[in-house]
């Protein structure tokens, strides 16, 4: 195995540059090193000006998403040795505006997430509860997969619809809406449907399926979206066929 690998890193300094450019760094190629370890080596030893996000370095916080060799990845979960002999391209997460170097502006997602009301909505007036809301293992299984989302936004980077139309609410937001709709403790499905039935909701999705392919937590947002479309369509048929009182 070679001693080192070249990393081609996207740089951009807004106060100085008109557009991003590449900068090459040689980092040691240790078998257990991830791309994030490579970036940390660059920052510690080679170039302290490099800006990037990371935190837990174990694939649970969702901070370190970037495009590695063109694919959205968590840099803490991607081994450098997989790209030997290199160079391995590391650029900011696709489909988001670049703030600086590898840091992207995630404001769009932060605005969209609360729109789908990703919390338990109850239909009773209870303000203080005496104990927990009980839930069977089967009820948990119904939504558990969708609760695994770590908001890393790799799905947004992979989604060509979001890339072409930033108004699209996007895979993770819809998957999280589905997570709450399927939760037996929740009564807010109608409210979320009202949000997602709009044109920038589920209908923009053309089921490319890349979101599910890149998700590091196997959430399957594509599946959530198709189920949501079927749910919305069923509701529309009911609304069409049944008189107002029965809906």
Partner 1 sequence: MSADLGTGLAYQRKMPVWWWLRKRSYFLFVMRELSSIFIAWLVLYLLLFVRAVAHGPAAYDDYLDWAASPVLVVVNVVAFAFVLLHTFTWFQLTPKAMVLAVRGHRVPPWAIIGVQYVGLGAMSAFIAWLVLS
Partner 2 sequence: MSLRRVEPLVWLTFSGGGVAAATLLPVLTFLFALAFPLGWIDPPDHAHLAAVLHNPLTFLVLMGAFTPMLVHAAHRFRYTLYDGLQVKHRALVAAVCYGSALVGVFVALQMLGSAT
Instruction: Catalog residues that contact partner 2 under the rule CB under 8 A.
Output: 160-161, 164-165, 197-199, 203, 206, 229, 232-233, 235-237, 239-240
Q: Is 166 in the site for partner 1 (CB under 8 A)?
A: yes
Question: Which residue in 69, 151, 163, 232 binds partner 1 (CB under 8 A)?
Answer: 163
Out of partner 2, partner 1, none, what residue 199 binds, judged by CB under 5 to 8 A for its kind, is partner 2
Q: Please state the closest distance from residue 207 (CB atom) to partner 1, in A.
A: 6
Give dist(CA 211, CA 221) in Å, integer: 6
Residue 208 engages partner 1 in binding (rule: CB under 8 A): yes
CA–CA gap between residue 145 and residue 221 (Å, rounded): 10
**One of 160, 190, 194, 238 touching partner 1 (CB under 8 A):** 160
Measured between alpha carbons, how far apart are the two ends of the chain, in Å? 66
Q: Which stretch binds partner 1 (CB under 8 A): 26-34, 52-60, 73-81, 159-167?
A: 159-167
Strand pairing class (21-28; 103-104): unpaired
Binding site partner of 20, from partner 2, partner 1, none, Cβ cut-off 5-8 A by kind: partner 1
Which does residue 94 touch among partner 1, partner 2, none (CB within 5 to 8 A, set by kind)?
Answer: partner 1
**How many alpha carbons lie under 13 Å from residue 62 in its C-beta half-sphere?**
13
In whole angstroms, how close is the CB of 87 to partner 1 at the nearest point?
A: 18
Nearest to 157 by CA among 195, 114, 102, 224: 102
Distance CA 55, CA 149 (A): 16
Q: Which residue(s) pair with 100 in the sheet?
A: 103
- CA distances 53 to 66, 147, 224, 234, Å, are 9, 23, 28, 42
The strand pairing partners of 38, in sequence order, are none
From the list 40-48, 169-177, 188-196, 215-223, the region that binds partner 1 by CB under 8 A is 215-223
Binding positions for partner 1, rule: CB under 8 A: 12, 14-15, 19-20, 70, 94-99, 105-108, 110-111, 138, 160, 163-164, 166, 206-210, 213, 220, 222-223, 226-227, 229-230
């Amino acid at each position: 195995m070679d001693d080192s690998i070249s990393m081609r890193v996207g740089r951009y300094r807004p106060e100085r540059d008109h557009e991003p450019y590449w900068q090459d760094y040689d980092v040691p190629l240790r078998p257990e090193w991830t791309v994030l370890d490579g970036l940390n080596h660059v920052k510690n030893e080679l170039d302290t000006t490099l800006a990037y996000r990371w935190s837990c370095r174990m694939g649970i916080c969702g901070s370190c998403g970037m495009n590695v060799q063109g694919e959205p990845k968590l840099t803490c979960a991607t081994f450098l040795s997989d790209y030997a002999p290199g160079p391995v391209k590391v650029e900011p997460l696709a489909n988001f505006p670049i703030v600086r170097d590898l840091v992207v502006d995630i404001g769009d997602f932060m605005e969209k997430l609360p729109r789908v009301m990703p919390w338990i909505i109850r239909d009773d007036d209870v303000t203080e509860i005496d104990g927990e809301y009980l839930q069977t293992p089967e009820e948990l299984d119904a939504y558990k997969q969708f609760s695994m989302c770590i908001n890393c936004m790799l799905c947004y980077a992979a989604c060509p619809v979001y890339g072409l139309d930033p108004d699209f609410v996007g895979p993770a937001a819809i998957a999280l809406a589905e997570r709450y709709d399927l939760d037996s403790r929740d009564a807010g499905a109608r409210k979320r449907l009202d949000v997602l039935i709009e044109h920038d909701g589920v209908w923009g999705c053309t089921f490319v399926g890349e979101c599910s392919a890149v998700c590091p937590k196997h959430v399957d947002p594509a599946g959530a979206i198709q189920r949501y479309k079927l749910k919305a369509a069923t509701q529309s048929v009911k609304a069409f066929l049944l008189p107002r009182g029965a809906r």
